[in-house]
A and B are shown apart, each in its own frame.
Chain A
Amino acid sequence: MSAALLEVHNLVKKYPAVTAVDGVSLAVPEGICFGLLGPNGAGKTTTIEIMEGILGASSGEVRYRGEPLGQRFKEETGILFQKTALQDFLTVRQSLALFRGLYAKGLAVDEVVKLCALEKLESRDSRKLSGGQLQRLLLAIALVNDPTLLFLDEPTTGLDPQARRNFWELVQSIKARNKTILLTTHYMEEAELLCDEIAIMDRGRIIAQGPPRRLLREHFAEVLLELPRQEFPEAARQLPLRLIEASDRVEITTDDLDGTLRVLMDARVPLTDLRIRPPNLEDLFLELTGKELRA
């Protein structure tokens, strides 16, 4: 593994009524996509905004290339916030030109336009873009200085499934340019597809960290059986099985599929809507916290 590009040591952010970030430490190696995963309110955005230098921490420190955040950090990073409005009445190209003018070095506006497939939208007022188009423009703005490190804070929240998939393809093409990406999301599918390493957050703390497949291997057996909760008899909850209860379903993990099915049939559990699938990050979060990721 290469040296950490960005390091966070014992980060704490306290507000009068709540501790939003409670002792977070992590290191983001150069060249990977690092995912910060967690439900709404877990402290992801607060953590990433402290790492971006936008928000001050109550204690702890953030270091970029081993140094405190400074002008070099701002010149070499690109940021896509969860919510950003642009200047009114400017076209896509003019918005890009504005941000390009704020950096000493970077890509030509034409190159960024091409990279983010904005050619047909160049002369459109940015207020008249669809959600997916606006997100592409905001990503283009984040790339205009050809950053080494790219922050993406919940970049596909609110997008329709097609726009989300298009955006993922775009992020994958940026990954291929050897950029380091720090991504927050509450979509496990997004994290599984894009991230080389993840940290799962809950209540301001990191509760698991590592490559997604390794984490799944560590916490789950081979397969996961899923049954609708309302069809799962109360008596079956006493069976010698490893159960995880979600709001609408009951999950059973096992490395002995035949044996588990026999136990369920003997207990007369209806198996009509049974699904058998490999476990994913959402299951992992449920396993670790007892809560669903999208809660």
Chain B
Amino acid sequence: MNLVSLARLIAVWHARNLEFVRDRGTLIFTLLVPVAMVIGMSFVFGGKERPLFKVGVLAAQVDHEAHPFLGERFVDFVAMPDEAAAIHKVARHDLDLLIDVRPPARYWVNPSSPKGYIIEKLLLEADRDAHRQPVSGEAVRYVDWLFPGVLGMNLMFSCLFGVGYVVLRYRKTGFLKRLHATPLSAFEFLSAQVLSRLTLTVVVTTVLYAGIASIIHFQNAGSLWLLAMLLVLGSLSMIALGLTIAARFSSEELVGGLLNLLTWPMMLLSGIWFSLEGSPQWVQWIAQIFPLTHLLDAARAVMLDGAGVAAISKDLAYLAVTAVAFLAFGAWSFRWRVE
């Protein structure tokens, strides 16, 4: 068993950083794509509300027979077991209205929400005696909600493909085989790759955060230090996930396919573009498998709602545990050369 040498680790980390920084095409692509995407999205979706009415129902399940209003068409009724969380969503315009159908029926609506105004009229048509509970709060712009998603998506691609293809290239060209002839251990090599990609991801994401936030006039509601911790843990988890794919295989087609197999479900189900609220429960369970889901849920809680460590502790723990588990699996299954 080799002892871990910091000098060897730093030598490989430094060389990988030089390689990335000098690859101008990749560097520019990494920086420009998310900026262009957020600016584009802000034009497309800026200021517009989502077309569907979304009404929260204070219950574990929505029973459409429980109240005449729950039979309305073109309204998405979503079960909300947690009253405080649901009221907060009304305040942020995430829900157009919240109703508790248990007699006497009560409802919460934000007077500054245009859709809340209309859906309230529909409710009162169905039940004139429902008690109004006004809620105040500013709407979350779609571009603000999208911002963490785009940063997370960029981070996911950078971590998975950046590490996956780089290690695959090293193996195919024989560079890994040459490193294997030195005292460098697999753990040192993998750790250097993780730390190098982590350094680059933190720097690039920080630059993007500052740049995009100034363009879309975004104000972070929470702690920047907490966001930084999320960035580090989220990156570690996804870099290590990329290493599990790159650790063993030598076929570009296979590695590309496996990386796509990981990224596309995350693109669709981790909440980059839209919230999964209201989608079937099994879809939400699947989404919870992905590190990106936990990263985005926690980042949005911090950035939009000012959540603290306690509120996102489960997400932090999930990211930390998966990072360690993926890295251990990657080191175990690592191959220096094409078999």
Contacts and interface: CB of A to CB of B under 8 A. Distances in A.
Interface of B: 2, 5, 7-8, 10-12, 14-16, 18-19, 22-23, 170, 173-175, 177-184, 336-337
B11 to A, nearest CB: 3
Q: Which 9 A-B pairs have the closest CB atoms?
A: A101-B11, A85-B173, A89-B22, A102-B182, A98-B15, A79-B181, A74-B183, A89-B19, A84-B178
A94 B8 contact: no
Given A90-B19, A97-B11, A104 B183 contact: yes
B4 to A, nearest CB: 13
| Chain A interface SS verdict (over half) | loop
A86 B22 CA distance: 15
A71 B15 contact: no
Contacts of B174: 81, 83-85
Interface residues of A, number: 27
A87 B175 contact: yes
A99 B22 contact: no
A81 B178 contact: yes
B23 A85 contact: no
A75 interface: yes
B264 to A, nearest CB: 28
Nearest to A83: B174
A103 B18 contact: no
A125 to B, nearest CB: 9
Contacts of B337: 54
Contact of B10 (A83, A100, A101): A101
A100 B22 CA distance: 21
Nearest to A72: B183
Contact of A88 (B2, B23, B183): B23
Interface in A29-54: 52-54
Given A74-B183, A84-B174, A141-B178, 11 more contacts: A54-B181, A54-B336, A84-B177, A85-B175, A87-B170, A88-B19, A89-B19, A90-B18, A101-B11, A102-B12, A102-B182
A98 B181 contact: no
Contacts, number: 71
A97 B12 CA distance: 10
A53 B177 CA distance: 11
Interface of A: 52-54, 71, 74-75, 77, 79, 81, 83-90, 94, 97-104, 141
Contacts of A101: 7-8, 10-12, 14
A102 B8 contact: yes
Contact of B175 (A53, A74, A86, A104): A86
Most buried by A among B11, B15, B22, B170: B15
6 contacts: A75-B183, A84-B174, A90-B19, A98-B14, A101-B11, A101-B12
A94 B19 CA distance: 10
A90 B15 contact: yes
Contacts of A102: 8, 11-12, 179, 182-184
Contact of B183 (A83, A90, A103): A103
A9 to B, nearest CB: 22
Nearest to A145: B182
Listed residue (A54, A84, A88, A104) with the most chain B CB atoms within 10 angstroms of its CB: A88
Nearest to B10: A101
